Structure 1
Amino acid sequence: MNKIKILVFSLLLLSMGACRKYVEIPPSQVRALKSTNDYQLLLNAGSTIEPGYYYPLFAADDFGVDDAGWYGKFTISAAINTYTWADKIYGSTEEDTDWASFYKQIFTFNTVVTGVMGSADGTDDQKKAIQAAALVHRAYAYFTLVNIYGKQYDSATSTTDPGVPLLLEPNLYADLTRASVQKVYDQVKADLLAALPYLPDSPTYNVNPSKMAVYALLARVCLNTREFTQAESYANQALTIKSTLLDLNNYVTTTTTLPLKLANPEVMFFKRTIQNPTNIPLQPTAVGLYDPKDLRYVIFTQDGSKITGSSFTIGRGLYTQRLITDGVYIGPGVPEMMLIKAECEARAGNTANALLAVNTLRKKRFKPAEYTDLTAADPNAALHVVIDERQREFMGRGYRWFDQRRLTKDNGFIGTVTHLFKGVTYTLAPGDNHYVFPIADKYIAQNPEITQNPR
């Protein structure tokens, strides 16, 4: 049998016995894809399509606490290795949860993209809408992958910087040579723009792609490529469709009524971490960014000693995942689009407009009698205000890791980061090779065309 790419299609191979004949002949007890609805059902599997990343949470400078008790309970080797920015995260035979999950998804999305137009029934419009939805999911997967395993986008080097294997068909024998960062970004943009005409403005359920989701993802993409005019334009288009914010004043004493994913008015495209961690300790420097009257501090963080089953008793931790059981939300939403708009305005020199966007968001995060607008003397100060607000709004979700990567392109925003663990201080300097995750040895051993990231 030819070499099987087990890193990409592990679930498929497990379910089908890892035998080539099952790629060619529908096996017993397995339903072949025939009808248009069969392809739609693939995209309805929430446990498959909703998960995003997980381990960037541990690498970010807002995660962790200096607590001997926590050290003893923080025992998952991959999480420890990520937290300490080790040369290797996984052992020689271990799966990389993030990589494997995304490529499993991509196999599903490629199956839909390449197969749905030839399905037995359904209208042409239905088929195009299903295909478009798969393209959006695929774009999200590749954008996230390239920002975990590839270097931060840099227009000067992106055509030669290794990205990730770019698979566009459900082919078990595809070459897994890493495409360049630029090629992956080009494909992400192409998928999103190709999907746009065939999607509704808003989804029936926010787990499904829509024009709003496309605009929001394009805003993320263009922020990373430093195309700030385009990023703001896409953020504005997303906000034109949805601009509702949660007023946290309504949940200070009634946190049990916080809306879940389908009812959350801020969610534009639901994605969550692969796992829902029970404990997310927060670095004191990150917690220190909050005004104690900030309702995000009051509602969404808690002293470790007061969190039932907490693995730490010193410091403060994220409490959101204890209040909302949908998982840690990492998809685009209204607050993110507002802050992208604010950042782009600050970078364009428009201090007042940047602060207007930030303060519009913040007014929903404080009691009216305790709120005061933030101010800034100039655009650079306004940009610092925006970045600090991103930290407060997205604390403990892994967003900060991706911001650390991209903000190394700006002077004065990201310094050397330190994490303490069991008496050892680990440091990560701006531009360090460890800002790019290593690829698991298992995958390179199975597929030698995949090159490792420098350490």
Structure 2
Amino acid sequence: MKNIYKKLACLLALGLTFVSCNDYLDDVPKGSKTPTTLADFEAFIRDEYGNQIVNVAQALNLLNDNYVTVANLSGDRLTKANYMWDETADRIQLNQGDEITYYRSYAGISSFNLIIANALTATEATDEQRRIVWAEAKVLRAMSYYNLANFYADTYTASTAGTKLSVPLITSADINAPSKQLTIQEMYDFILNDVKEALPYLPKVSQTALHPNLGAGYAFYSRVYLQMNNYSEALKYADLALAENNRLYDWVGYYNTNKAIIDVPNSYTATASPMGYNYVENYTFRHGSIYYLSREFNIPVERAQHFETNDVKFKSRWKPITVGSENYYRTTLSGMFNFGGITTVEVYLIKAECLARANQISDALNVLNTVRKTRILPASYQDISTADKTTALNAIFRTKNNELINTLIPFADARRLNAEGVYKVSLTKTVEGTNYSLASDSYLWTMPFPQGATQNPGNGTITQNVDK
């Protein structure tokens, strides 16, 4: 396996064979610096193009949340299997090169492990400063394991979480450290405990957008508890997160400011993305796919149709285009996009779902409509009003899927809802006269580990969580 990722100290990537971090620290190459000060270790958090990347491209392919060209479908068989919902394909055999999600995530975890192991004894810092960096690394490690667990393993279901396997856990930055593939329950317990230990030390104000603050800790806790169908705890931490930051971006104002550019037919002049480091909705910022750091994915026509009429957040981001025989919606924003972190809009919609689950329908819709008013043109806007729980929840799910498109969350939510069995998610489309469908119980909803990981698992073992 080739060395893809460079680190200030060293990497963890299960299955790779490099010197250990301990070896590295004992034998520093000429011209290199041994990390000893807190600033040295904190620099790993600032590695936004390495440790802060959250690549979930195949999940987006499965959802058809990004448009894949005919040429790319012809050249990438794994992408085609997911994008076209091909249950005859053996994705384990096809997944010989799509290893970025796995190794990039574990490389980041290695860096966070290094911080956790060394920050509390680092030099040139106060005890309070050391604890803050240690806590930030704890949250980022937990977030990375959550992403892996909701990509390569089945979703959390209480009745089976104690027996089904999740992903390998490693808590040392030593490349020779043993790993253990935990059960889903064990992995969620580990994630929750990491955040529990971090919360007392997280600052209210982030040092940078990449550094999780107290609001981020609460928001992530809310995300995890929602995935576990623990709505009371998810609501509790959603409220705590919103007490730290409840701002929503004014997309109506953005559209009105830029409409002279946005509304020009057949023009794809880009406007600046407001969803970067200073986005008012950020709790913590992490990049999405490494392939599109300065622009978004294009989206299929069918996906564009799921947005509400005169949703100006949508209108500000995509515009229809025809290239040869292909029709899709082309991205029209440039800049940075918080597709791997956590934002207030997600927490608002977690709160709305939890309230609806508790039959507080009116309160749930008040929260939902608070979000929608910042996205829909006033001339078109109407409150969603219903006393029916299912209607309310479906409106919440629709808004959340649209708001968090290009992130892991719609994929994780669909798996959660499918496992619950009440609000199942299935997909259909027609391409050149042929109908395609993705059933709610399809094995495609879990991604296979890459062959490089299963064939070279390092100091541990890895069992595939899917048959193909």
Q: Into which bin does the TM-score normalised by the smaller protein fall?
A: 0.7 to 0.9
Match of residue 177 from structure 1 = 180
Once residues 408 and 114 of structure 2 are traced to their aligned partners in structure 1, the CA distance between those partners, rounded to angstroms, is: 30
Once residues 130 and 208 of structure 1 are traced to their aligned partners in structure 2, the CA distance between those partners, rounded to angstroms, is: 8
Structure 1 374/48 Cα, relative in aligned 2: closer, same or farther at 3 Å? Answer: same
Cα contact 1:217–1:332 (8 A) shared by 2: yes
Secondary structure of 2:160 counterpart: coil
Match of residue 102 from structure 2 = 99
Structure 1 180/314 Cα, relative in aligned 2: closer, same or farther at 3 Å? Answer: same
1:419-444 deviations in Å (ceiling 9; x for gaps) = 66788765432232221110111211
Match of residue 314 from structure 1 = 327
1:87-106 deviations in Å (ceiling 9; x for gaps) = 32675753510010010001
Counterpart of 2:297 (choices 273, 280, 285) is: 280
Structure 1 303/346 Cα, relative in aligned 2: closer, same or farther at 3 Å? Answer: same
Moved more, 416-425 or 106-115: 416-425
1:233-280 deviations in Å (ceiling 9; x for gaps) = 111111111111111122225443553522210111111213244673
Match of residue 59 from structure 1 = 62
Cα contact 1:164–1:178 (8 A) shared by 2: yes
Secondary structure of 1:252 counterpart: helix
1:110 shift after superposition: 0.4
Cα contact 2:51–2:104 (8 A) shared by 1: no
Match of residue 265 from structure 1 = 280
Structure 1 104/93 Cα, relative in aligned 2: closer, same or farther at 3 Å? Answer: same
- One-letter code of the match for 2:379? A
Q: Does 1:150 align with 2:153?
A: yes
Structure 1 328/215 Cα, relative in aligned 2: closer, same or farther at 3 Å? Answer: closer
- One-letter code of the match for 2:289? I
- One-letter code of the match for 2:365? L
1:121 shift after superposition: 3.2
Cα contact 2:147–2:408 (8 A) shared by 1: no
Cα contact 2:65–2:405 (8 A) shared by 1: yes
Match of residue 32 from structure 1 = 34
Match of residue 88 from structure 1 = 91
Cα contact 1:145–1:164 (8 A) shared by 2: yes
Name the structure with the higher helix share. Answer: 1
Identical aligned residues as a percent: 25
Cα contact 1:163–1:181 (8 A) shared by 2: yes
1:105-126 deviations in Å (ceiling 9; x for gaps) = 0110000101122223321111
Q: Does 1:372 align with 2:365?
A: no
1:41 shift after superposition: 1.7
Once residues 12 and 251 of structure 2 are traced to their aligned partners in structure 1, the CA distance between those partners, rounded to angstroms, is: 45
Moved more, 11-20 or 426-435: 11-20
Q: Does 1:406 align with 2:412?
A: no
Match of residue 442 from structure 1 = 452
Once residues 328 and 275 of structure 2 are traced to their aligned partners in structure 1, the CA distance between those partners, rounded to angstroms, is: 27
Match of residue 360 from structure 1 = 370
Alignment of 1:424-435 (within 5 A): 427-435=437-445
Q: Does 1:294 align with 2:330?
A: no
Match of residue 359 from structure 2 = 349
Alignment of 1:167-246 (within 5 A): 167-246=170-249
Once residues 118 and 311 of structure 1 are traced to their aligned partners in structure 2, the CA distance between those partners, rounded to angstroms, is: 60
Cα contact 1:61–1:418 (8 A) shared by 2: no
Once residues 110 and 204 of structure 2 are traced to their aligned partners in structure 1, the CA distance between those partners, rounded to angstroms, is: 27
Once residues 290 and 388 of structure 1 are traced to their aligned partners in structure 2, the CA distance between those partners, rounded to angstroms, is: 8
- One-letter code of the match for 1:259? P
Structure 1 419/22 Cα, relative in aligned 2: closer, same or farther at 3 Å? Answer: farther
Counterpart of 2:350 (choices 320, 340, 360) is: 340
Cα contact 1:49–1:137 (8 A) shared by 2: no
- One-letter code of the match for 1:40? E
1:122-164 deviations in Å (ceiling 9; x for gaps) = 2111111111111011011001100001111011111111111
Match of residue 112 from structure 1 = 115
Structure 1 108/421 Cα, relative in aligned 2: closer, same or farther at 3 Å? Answer: farther
Once residues 332 and 195 of structure 1 are traced to their aligned partners in structure 2, the CA distance between those partners, rounded to angstroms, is: 17
Q: Does 1:41 align with 2:43?
A: yes
Structure 1 13/237 Cα, relative in aligned 2: closer, same or farther at 3 Å? Answer: closer
Once residues 144 and 41 of structure 1 are traced to their aligned partners in structure 2, the CA distance between those partners, rounded to angstroms, is: 22
Structure 1 93/150 Cα, relative in aligned 2: closer, same or farther at 3 Å? Answer: closer
Cα contact 2:284–2:343 (8 A) shared by 1: yes
Moved more, 328-337 or 275-284: 275-284
Moved more, 193-202 or 327-336: 327-336
Structure 1 253/100 Cα, relative in aligned 2: closer, same or farther at 3 Å? Answer: same
Match of residue 396 from structure 2 = 386
Structure 1 100/30 Cα, relative in aligned 2: closer, same or farther at 3 Å? Answer: same
Structural RMSD (CA):
2.9
**Which runs of no fewer than 5 residues in structure 1 stay unpaired?**
none
Secondary structure of 1:370 counterpart: coil
Q: Normalised by the size of structure 1, how large is the TM-score?
A: 0.88
Counterpart of 2:164 (choices 161, 165, 174) is: 161
1:7 shift after superposition: 9.5
Structure 1 6/133 Cα, relative in aligned 2: closer, same or farther at 3 Å? Answer: farther
1:415 shift after superposition: 4.4
Structure 1 260/280 Cα, relative in aligned 2: closer, same or farther at 3 Å? Answer: closer
Once residues 327 and 376 of structure 1 are traced to their aligned partners in structure 2, the CA distance between those partners, rounded to angstroms, is: 34
Secondary structure of 1:453 counterpart: coil
Once residues 246 and 362 of structure 1 are traced to their aligned partners in structure 2, the CA distance between those partners, rounded to angstroms, is: 11
Moved more, 39-48 or 136-145: 39-48
1:406 shift after superposition: 0.7
1:296 shift after superposition: 2.4
Once residues 136 and 464 of structure 2 are traced to their aligned partners in structure 1, the CA distance between those partners, rounded to angstroms, is: 32
Cα contact 1:276–1:327 (8 A) shared by 2: no
Once residues 173 and 208 of structure 2 are traced to their aligned partners in structure 1, the CA distance between those partners, rounded to angstroms, is: 27
